[in-house]
Chain A
Amino acid sequence: MIVFNHVNAAIREIETATSAMTESAARGTERRAVSLIRALPKSGRVYARPDAGRDRLGRFARVGSVVHVASAPGQAPAHDTGALERSIHARHEGEDRWVVAVDSPIGVYLERGTRHIAPRPYMRPAYDAAQLHSREQLARFARRLDTGRIEGAAGDLGGEL
């Protein structure tokens, strides 16, 4: 007779692991997308900022950068005001459903390109990296279950991407 006496514990760990991995993938995608935007160097066009060096009242007060180095086609967008990065959010939508959304109206045009502007993908590469990380986590988790170390197996998951 074969007795499986760890089934309930394994199911509990699998449920916890699923939850942890989903959250980790969503938050990892968000972090990675932001870091791709902030990563240097960017090698696109260089723009002079006409109002750089002036404060909100128009007084001369050198603040921020005088030039903006844009991204080249194929690179992630270049950091500019930070509005794009701030608009990227991992949102928990109940159960194990997470959504990573870019609220900036220009986000989709940068990711997908337009008829005449080449794309600067940052969400897909971030998602791919998070997916790869999740696969590695899943393999580690499966190895641990396979060796019978069930209790607390899910606790190892959810690390930084």
Chain B
Amino acid sequence: MSGVESVVVDAFLHGLLSGGEQLVALAPGGVWADVAPEGTHGVVVLVVAEGGLTDTTPSIGTGRTLSQGTWTIKAVGDAEDTFLDLAQVAARIDALVQGASGGVDLPGVTGHVYGCDRAGDVHMRENGTPAYRHLGGSYRVTVR
């Protein structure tokens, strides 16, 4: 398990998704980590780390070379939204994230995301009332 690299990925993904004008228009509920706050209305985009990072290459000196982890990025609808409603949002998420790379340089958080590769899709309907739908993908993210 690595330390700050996961924060680099979180910051990178939030910047990427929040900066996508089309996505912001399609998901008026906003981009959130893990859960949508109570009272949030409309389609939301949730960014969820699926577990710890794995160091994929040997360290050089004191520095880790590359780490990988999986993040779920999904559109979650409001009560009345169908999978069809969410399809456009999920497609926009994939257009932004698949193959994305770039640096993060924030106070205390510096790093580089080398790539995001879709590892599978996420298609889920909550078994409750309301039965919120989730549509998106799991992405394998390589970071240093």
- A interface residues (Cβ-Cβ under 8 A, vs B): 73-74, 105, 108-109, 112-119, 121, 124-125, 128, 132
For residue B67, give the distance in angstroms from its CB to the closest CB of chain A: 12
Q: List 27 A-B contacts (CB under 8 A).
A: A73-B34, A109-B126, A112-B48, A112-B72, A112-B122, A113-B35, A113-B46, A113-B48, A114-B126, A114-B132, A115-B44, A115-B76, A115-B126, A115-B134, A116-B35, A116-B36, A118-B48, A119-B34, A119-B48, A119-B50, A121-B49, A121-B51, A124-B50, A124-B70, A128-B52, A128-B54, A128-B70
Classify the interface of chain A: helix, strand, loop or mixed.
Answer: loop
Please state if B124 and A108 are interface contacts (CB–CB under 8 Å). yes
Please state if A121 and B35 are interface contacts (CB–CB under 8 Å). no
Contacts across chains A and B counted by CB atoms under 8 Å:
54
- B interface residues (Cβ-Cβ under 8 A, vs A): 34-36, 38, 44, 46, 48-52, 54, 70, 72, 76, 122, 124, 126-128, 132, 134
Please state if B51 and A128 are interface contacts (CB–CB under 8 Å). yes
Please state if B127 and A116 are interface contacts (CB–CB under 8 Å). no
